[in-house]
């Protein structure tokens, strides 16, 4: 069934023909007075005609809609063509003369109708250009959350099964020990019984020998011996040996309940955190994004093309090099905004400089040779205080506040996510280590501590970073490894430079998902792919590198390397 012009959506691409008789050319214009579509040639003739040259001819999309023909209910022979401003109702000309509308203001109904049609079209455009696509985006977000939740829950189930297997093994071990103990008790008791039985056997043999002796006395030829025996103490029979009945052991069943077992096997809980509402982009922003200009589209294409063609360069090029005052070595770098960076050494000196090497600020901390400071998305610096077990924040006004308290755990490393602003903190306590995730407000939302076999993931998480796929990458001094887990905390892999000694220092990632880590044994920077496969030594002595200890990648994909001493060198390794 064909659609009428009023049924065709205003943004649909449909072919209209000129309304002039016998003209079948494409319609481009519209006469609002004649309510007639027309081509360019017919428009020119229409405007040259003395009868119609004063008509309003506009581009077709700017046309006024013809007023639908509707009869007046009070005067059925008349059409509704007037709008009463006072009563806000359409009227026919005859209605305007009645006393009910005497003195009222009237407007051409066609003009009012055109305004209302334009409003409707605007609302339709809003729905199609903003509300509907934004709702579809929310559906995609929800679908992504569904996949993420399924992945997280599968990880939880795997962890619970692993926990149960550990407990089962412990139960089997304890049961085996107790059975062995029961076996030893049984053997001891049996040996007692066997000893007593042997004593009785010996006594019975003694009695038999005594009977034979007495029978010998009864012989007629042994009267003298009998007489002697009857007067002898030899007639005294030894008493029956004493035996005891050992007390058997008793098994006392363990006192436990289902709740005790549930506590033993851990528990699954939902953090007491108010769910964050999904962000809905403002209509102005959405409209801009949905209708980019030609220049914006060109810029986006160029940006996408650059990222798609970005790859490792065949050679590493030094961009610049300078000395950082106030530190004796560069063990960690945090790049800030406005071309400023924070650098720390092994003595707790934390220094801010500009790109010319001028010192802007200096703070004395309890930090050592670890990644204990980071710059957040809003440009603030946060750093750990392992002595007081807190995370401190420095605002642009140089005000220092305590933003996170870590309880009994000593925070040694920290990283601010460039993806969502979460704060990742590496901590140690006694012989344990973990990485804890906090949100922007400092609320704890995740602990990453053990793998599926309930083994500790970390020994000494000295440096932390996050990859483009949300993997958490840790440089661990104690494990001599780069330990990588996914966003849910499930262990993905550990890189240990098989076949050679490996002692990792600072770690970072780049826009292509590469993992870069300093190695103090080979004195190079190792380049790994996103899955932990070694690609190449990125920086060696040939590039003039000396004892690399810290590194990071800036927004222009340059690699900053801090070295022993107070030297920082910037390299370009992507093209």
Predicted pLDDT of residue 308: 52
Name the band, by pLDDT with cuts 50, 70 and 90, for residue 321. Answer: confident
pLDDT over threshold 90, residue 390 = yes
pLDDT number for residue 8: 46
Taking the alpha carbons at both ends of the chain, their separation in whole angstroms is 57
- 465 pLDDT above the threshold of 90: yes
Q: What is the C-alpha to C-alpha distance for residues 360 and 357, in angstroms, rounded to an integer?
A: 9
Q: Is pLDDT at 14 greater than 80 in this prediction?
A: no
* pLDDT, position 284: 56
Cα angle 544, 548, 554 (rounded to 5 degrees) comes to 90
pLDDT tens digits, residue range 509-524? 999 899 999 998 888 9
Average pLDDT, rounded, for the chain:
84
* % of the chain surpassing 70 pLDDT: 89
Domains in the chain, CATH or no CATH each: 142-247+254-264 (no CATH), 310-574 (2.120.10.30)
pLDDT: which is higher, 546 or 300: 546
pTM of the entire structure? 0.50
φ/ψ of 494, rounded to 5, equals: -130, 130
Q: Are strands 410-416 and 400-405 parallel, antiparallel or unpaired?
A: unpaired
CA angle 279, 283, 287 (to 5 degrees): 120
Token pair for residue 251?
């098994």
Q: Are 354 and 347 in contact (CB under 8 A)?
A: no
Q: List C-alpha distances in Å: 103 to 82, 120, 205, 227, 486.
A: 14, 31, 146, 168, 76
pLDDT given for residue 370 in this prediction? 92
Position 82 scores a pLDDT of: 92
Q: Would you state the pLDDT for residue 495?
A: 94
Q: Higher pLDDT residue, 476 or 215? A: 476
More confident residue, 428 or 354: 428
What pLDDT digit, counting tens, does each position of 227-250 carry? Answer: 666 665 556 788 999 998 888 888
Whether residue 25 has pLDDT greater than 70: yes
pLDDT score of 232: 57
> Phi, psi at residue 189, to the nearest 5°?
-65, -40
pLDDT band (50, 70, 90) for residue 293: very low
Q: What is the pLDDT of residue 528?
A: 92
Q: Which of 75-79, 352-356, 477-481 has the lowest mean pLDDT?
A: 352-356
Confidence of residue 15 (pLDDT cuts 50, 70, 90): low
Residues 79-86, mean pLDDT to the nearest whole number = 91
Q: pLDDT tier at 561 (50, 70, 90 boundaries)?
A: very high
* Confidence class for position 121, pLDDT limits 50, 70, 90: confident
Average pLDDT over residues 167-195: 92
Least confident of 178-182, 184-188, 285-289, 527-531: 285-289
Alpha helices in 24-131 (DSSP H): 40-48, 109-126
pLDDT at 472: 95
């Amino acid at each position: 069934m064909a659609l009428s012009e009023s049924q065709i959506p205003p943004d649909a691409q449909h072919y209209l023909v000129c309304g002039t008789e016998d003209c079948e050319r494409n319609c481009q214009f519209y006469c609002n007075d004649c309510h007639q579509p027309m081509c360019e040639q017919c428009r020119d003739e229409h405007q040259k005609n003395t009868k119609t040259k004063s008509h309003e001819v506009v581009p077709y999309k700017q046309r006024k809609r013809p007023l639908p023909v509707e009869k007046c209910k009070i005067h059925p022979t008349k059409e509704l063509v007037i709008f009463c401003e006072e009563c806000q109702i359409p009227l026919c000309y005859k209605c305007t003369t009645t006393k009910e509308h005497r003195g009222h203001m009237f407007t051409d109904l066609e003009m009012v109708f055109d305004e209302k049609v334009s409003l409707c079209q605007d609302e339709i455009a809003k729905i199609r250009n903003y509300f509907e696509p934004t709702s579809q985006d929310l559906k995609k977000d929800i679908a992504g959350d569904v996949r993420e939740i399924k992945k997280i829950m599968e990880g939880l189930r795997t962890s619970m099964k692993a926990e149960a297997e550990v407990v089962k093994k412990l139960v089997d071990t304890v049961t085996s020990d107790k059975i062995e103990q029961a076996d030893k008790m049984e053997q001891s008791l049996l040996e007692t019984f066997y000893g007593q039985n042997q004593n009785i056997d010996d006594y019975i043999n003694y009695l038999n020998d005594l009977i034979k002796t007495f029978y010998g006395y009864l012989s007629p030829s042994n009267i003298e011996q009998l007489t002697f025996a009857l007067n002898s103490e030899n007639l005294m029979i030894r008493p029956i040996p004493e035996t005891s009945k050992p007390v058997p052991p008793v098994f006392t069943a363990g006192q436990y309940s289902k709740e005790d077992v549930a506590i033993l096997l851990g528990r699954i809980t939902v953090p007491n955190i108010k769910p964050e509402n999904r962000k809905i982009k403002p209509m102005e922003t959405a409209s801009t994004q949905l209708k980019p200009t030609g220049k914006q589209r060109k810029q986006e294409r160029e940006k996408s093309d650059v990222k798609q063609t970005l790859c490792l360069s065949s050679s590493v090029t030094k961009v610049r090099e300078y000395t950082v005052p106030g530190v004796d070595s560069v063990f960690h770098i945090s790049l800030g905004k406005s071309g400023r960076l924070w650098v720390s050494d092994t003595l707790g000196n934390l220094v801010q400089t500009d790109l010319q090497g001028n010192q802007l600020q200096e703070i004395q901390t309890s930090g050592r040779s670890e990644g204990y400071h980071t710059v957040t998305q809003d440009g603030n610096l946060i750093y750990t205080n392992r002595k007081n077990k807190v995370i401190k924040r420095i605002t642009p006004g140089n005000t220092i506040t305590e933003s996170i308290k870590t309880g009994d755990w000593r925070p040694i490393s920290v990283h601010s996510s460039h993806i969502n602003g979460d704060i990742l903190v590496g901590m140690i306590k006694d012989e344990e280590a973990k990485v804890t995730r906090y949100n922007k407000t400092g609320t704890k939302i995740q602990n990453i501590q053990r793998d599926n076999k309930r083994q500790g993931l970390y020994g000494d998480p000295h440096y932390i970073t996050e990859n483009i796929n949300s993997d958490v990458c840790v440089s661990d001094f104690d494990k001599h490894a780069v330990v990588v887990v996914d966003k849910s905390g499930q262990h993905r892999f550990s890189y240990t430079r098989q076949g050679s000694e490996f002692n990792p220092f600072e770690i970072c990632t780049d826009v292509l998902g590469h993992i870069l880590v300093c190695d103090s044994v080979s004195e190079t920077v190792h380049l790994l792919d996103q899955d932990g496969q070694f690609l190449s030594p990125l920086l060696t002595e040939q590039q003039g590198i000396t004892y690399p200890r810290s590194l990071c990648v800036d927004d222009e994909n340059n690699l900053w390397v801090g070295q022993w001493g107070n030297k920082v060198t910037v390299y370009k390794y992507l093209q």
